Structure 1
């Protein structure tokens, strides 16, 4: 697995995942569990949804 999630993308995923979990917890809904996905992809630096489209938000080294 090659890294395809860049630094800015990771920060957005962490914030978004945390917010989804907080809203799910506040509303006492299982939808908060969905917040684990962006947190997990931020932690490992790889997003399986990017692979079929060839997307990468990692910085390219010159």
Structure 2
């Protein structure tokens, strides 16, 4: 460690923490996006099933 002084080590650690923070932020945003799209797909499927149930109940009531 003859060529490194305390300020260069501090800057290296700070830079590493910034890079780690950016990578973590990207992964969090990516997981939130994938979870929201999965929930949206599930809610669309539930909505279709409910529409089918309502149609069957109306058909049964009218018969």
Considering fraction of residues, name the structure with more helix.
2
Higher Cα radius of gyration? 2
Greater relative CO, 1 or 2 (CA 8 Å, sep 6+): 1
**Bin of the TM-score, shorter chain as denominator length:** 0.3 to 0.5
TM-score, with structure 2 as normaliser? 0.38
